[in-house]
Amino acid sequence: MEKKNDHIRLLRQCTPWIAITAFSGIVFILFTLYRFFQDRYLFRDEIVVTITLFIAVVFITRYVLMLFVQRALTGEERTDKEKLDRYYARSFAFWLMEGFVYLILFGIFMLAVLDEYRYI
Amino acid sequence: MRDTILDEYEADENSYLSVYARGKAAQSGTWMIISSSLALMTILVTVMIITDESGWRYWRIEEISAMVFLVCMAVKYVLLLIKGVRLRKAVRETAFTGIESSARLYLITWIFIGSLALIFILAMVLYLVAKVEVFGEISEGLFRIY
């Protein structure tokens, strides 16, 4: 019976590491914007700014949602089985969204490659 | 031995994972595989572009740092790919050991990514506070690629 909870315990231990990653993602975005403001030439390039902001929004949203998925494992009032039900339902929604984001990103990336690396 | 324990759970109403959770876990495993594969392909194409533009012998710190970053990301997605495959397999076979080992792999993946993130934050702080230029160059390298 005790072994059963290892699954939840292991999954729950991911939460602080996800939070660290999310925090560093935000730091990276702020740092990038700081460098953009320093480099006037780079900041004028609309495509660079658009791509940076796009990546910033996508990645920060991603980590926030990942923390939301992890929250499914908390709550004393729920049984382990209910927690896992919620966790896997949210996990599926997250990875479905992630899959589509990567499909779009990969599509844009391949178009850029075919267009002689113009926007990379 | 552990799977036998699970079989006992499966036999009664309080089975370890409900049919619903099992279905969702398998589906999330599938999408995990799709995302990781696409990310790995993107990384591969980026590596090909870098090596195509300048031979590795002429790499400056920008190219080297970008390559290190890409290798780290590749490791992350390989781990997630394995996790996806393992999760799908474990759920299909209702193997408790597999489900738990996929959770362990997931934790290892996040410890790996989180540790990199911590190093990254340290690098940024050093750059901003002590103005250690090498971190600025690493950042330039990443800009050049993305």
In angstroms, what separates the C-alpha of A57 from chain B's closest C-alpha? Answer: 15
Residue B49 · residue A117 · CB < 8 Å: yes
Tell me, what's the pLDDT at A78?
Answer: 83
Residue B28 · residue B103 · CB < 8 Å: no
Digit-coded pLDDT (tens) for B84-122: 998 888 887 777 777 888 888 899 999 998 898 888 777
The CA-atom distances, in angstroms, between B20 and each of A52, B6, B11, B90 are 38, 17, 16, 15
Cα B80 from Cα B110, distance rounded (Å): 10
Cα B11 from Cα B16, distance rounded (Å): 10
Cα A45 from Cα A11, distance rounded (Å): 42
Cα A16 from Cα B54, distance rounded (Å): 40
Tell me, what's the pLDDT at B79?
Answer: 92
Digit-coded pLDDT (tens) for A46-74: 666 777 777 778 878 888 898 999 999 88
| Whether the predicted interface score ipTM is above 0.90 | no
Chain A residues within 8 A of B32 when measuring between CB atoms: 95, 98
Name residues 84-123 of chain B within 8 A of A (Cβ).
99-100, 103-104, 106-107, 110-111, 113-114, 117-118, 120-121
CB burial of residue B35 (10 Å; 0-12, 13-18, 19+): buried
* Nearest of B53, B66, B87 to residue B144 by alpha carbon: B66
